[in-house]
Amino acid sequence: MTDAPIDADSSDDDAAREAVERDRAELRTFIKGLNPGDVKSGDWFSKLVTQAMSSYTDKVDWQYFQEKYKGVPADGIVEQRITMASRYAALQGGLSAGAYSAAVAATVGSAGGASPIALPAAAVTLLVDLTYITQLQLRLAYDISVLYRVPLDVSDPDDMWKLIRVAFTIKSGEVARESVTKAVPLVVRPLIKKFYSGPVLTAAKGLPIVGKHLLQRNVIKVGIPLVGIPLTVVLNRYTTLVAGRHARDVFRNEARVIEIAWRLSSRSQYPQLMLWVAWLVITADNKIGDDETLLMRHLARIVRERHGVVDDQLANVVDIDPDDVWKRLDAEPGDLTELLDVASRVATVDGDLNAGEKEAIAELRGRCHRS
């Protein structure tokens, strides 16, 4: 399977169509290696992920984009790649549109009484579209993570699952539906909303489950009539646009949090104490938000990498005792006012200060200002 990324510089329709056709041909070869059981069980997705990402991630890294887009900020490159991916998706939809019919959906749903070692031709046509869009959106999400320098190791199951969740808006269907109102033209919104109207996939970490979910969602393209424009062109283009912008929002936000963690770590003379103060502020209201968890994880990682500090005692804390933190502060000589900036940045990573955070920072201020 080709590991070539989409060419966001190309404005040549013929070249773009040729690239899509090349990927379609390779995906047909991949699909011929599947059987009806792979399709119905969702195992096709596990196999596709392995082939689509293994060599691709070796080629596409941050340096690749730096060489290709010298001097261009990440936001500009991301928007280009989302636009180009949605264009490729629409081209794929146009190439597949003529083959869609209710018979295709029925064939895939029942395996059509086909031979156990081969898929019916009609099912292959639908699966080419499904695997093409799946691969395209998965790689697009990965590109965006690389551009925002969010570290992902696709050989790590947790990182791979994170990429899949972002690429296909798993557990975030409501996010995708809300994004529709801004991402697509008014006339198309009812179609896109219908595409996302099914049940939101839960957090079950099973690739076959994701495969079944994506197959069921893709079959909807067969069942909605649209006059004048092939439905697959519209849905492929705008669902890829929505998926890309969702990935942009997720990874850009994480990049923002990582940037905060780097700045706090680089300025700190008390990296170990900084971690205790950060965790005290995060837990001050007895609620831990996603951005707060993300910040603490990256802060601990960067302090470990930059300062060689690993605090096993903090890692074993269940309920943090403020007195333990105050004792640590009292034991440190010198000016500790830098910790006030740490507390403020940590407290506002997910929005405005709340009462618990204000109280913790007020106490910290009194202990850091020394005569």
Are residues 208 and 319 part of one domain? no
Number of domains observed in the structure of the chain = 2
Are residues 154 and 291 part of one domain? no
Q: Which two tokens stand for residue 97?
A: 């549109």
Q: Does residue 81 lie within any of the structural domains?
A: yes
Are residues 278 and 189 part of one domain? no
Are residues 60 and 33 part of one domain? yes
pLDDT in tens, 31-50: 989 888 898 889 999 999 99
Are residues 226 and 279 part of one domain? no
Q: Does residue 263 lie within any of the structural domains?
A: no
The H-assigned helical ranges of the chain are 13-32, 36-41, 43-54, 56-59, 62-68, 74-97, 102-110, 121-147, 157-167, 173-183, 189-195, 207-218, 220-223, 231-267, 271-282, 290-307, 312-315, 322-330, 338-347, 355-368
Where does a domain end: 226, 252, 278? 252
Look at residue 36 in the predicted model and tell me its pLDDT: 85
Are residues 190 and 78 part of one domain? yes
- For residue 320, CA distances in Å to 27, 84, 269, 277, 279 come to 53, 48, 23, 10, 8
Look at residue 8 in the predicted model and tell me its pLDDT: 45
Listed residue (158, 209, 205) closest to 44, CA to CA: 209
Look at residue 117 in the predicted model and tell me its pLDDT: 42
Q: Does residue 7 lie within any of the structural domains?
A: no
Are residues 177 and 80 part of one domain? yes
Q: Does residue 57 lie within any of the structural domains?
A: yes
Are residues 211 and 331 part of one domain? no
Are residues 158 and 53 part of one domain? yes
A 10 A CB-CB count for 152 gives 18
Q: Does residue 5 lie within any of the structural domains?
A: no
A 10 A CB-CB count for 172 gives 18
Q: Does residue 186 lie within any of the structural domains?
A: yes
Asked if residues 170 and 65 have their Cβ atoms less than 8 Å apart, the reply is: no
Residue 24 and residue 270: Cα distance in Å, rounded? 55
Regions of the chain with pLDDT less than 70: 1-11, 97-122, 171-205, 220-230, 370-371
Are residues 284 and 149 part of one domain? no
- For residue 122, CA distances in Å to 52, 93, 94, 107, 314 come to 23, 15, 16, 7, 58
The SS3 of residue 198 is coil
Residue 275 and residue 319: Cα distance in Å, rounded? 15
Look at residue 112 in the predicted model and tell me its pLDDT: 45
Q: Does residue 136 lie within any of the structural domains?
A: yes
Range of the domain at 362: 268-368
Where does a domain end: 252, 284, 316? 252
Asked if residues 129 and 240 have their Cβ atoms less than 8 Å apart, the reply is: no
Q: Which two tokens stand for residue 210?
A: 């994701």
**CATH code of the domain in which 286 resides:** 1.10.3680
Are residues 290 and 193 part of one domain? no
Q: Does residue 307 lie within any of the structural domains?
A: yes
Listed residue (42, 360, 320) closest to 204, CA to CA: 42
Where does a domain end: 220, 252, 284? 252
Q: Which two tokens stand for residue 264?
A: 């706090």
Rama region for 171: left / alpha / beta (φ>0; ψ in -120 to 50; rest): left
Are residues 316 and 223 part of one domain? no
The SS3 of residue 286 is coil
Q: HSE on the CB side for 255, CA within 13 Å?
A: 15
Rama region for 314: left / alpha / beta (φ>0; ψ in -120 to 50; rest): alpha
Amino acid at 142: Y
